[in-house]
Amino acid sequence: MERNGANIRILNPDHQWVGSLSRKGVEKWKDRLPGIINAQVLGVIIRNAGEKDLPMKTKTGIEQWSLPIVEVLQMKNACVTL
């Protein structure tokens, strides 16, 4: 993962962009980036705008999007007070 302006991108081993964190995710992880040893995408969830169990409805007009499930390995003493 790497910081890119106001965003945090998820990169594959070839440093290609495969996703990015939400605004809440950026707030949670922005100060923790230096302590990350490795981040690995374990899977991807595909969501559709028509799903009835969505926590909130999107107003963007996007019909389908992907949510990566990411495992983060962090240094033990890299805790940050949030």
- The answer to whether residues 77 and 34 touch, using CB atoms and an 8 Å cutoff, is no
pLDDT digits (tens, 9 = 90+) for 25-59: 899 988 888 888 888 888 888 888 777 776 665 56
Share of the chain above pLDDT 90, in %: 7
The partner residues of 17 in beta bridges, in order of sequence, read 11
Which tokens belong to 67? 């949510």
Where exactly are the structural domains of the chain? 2-74
How much is the mean pLDDT over the chain? 81
Would strands 7-11 and 2-4 be described as parallel, antiparallel, or unpaired?
antiparallel
pTM more than 0.75 = no
**Per-residue pLDDT at 66 exceeds 80:** yes
Residue 20 and residue 39: Cα distance in Å, rounded?
A: 12
What local confidence, expressed as pLDDT, does residue 7 receive? 92
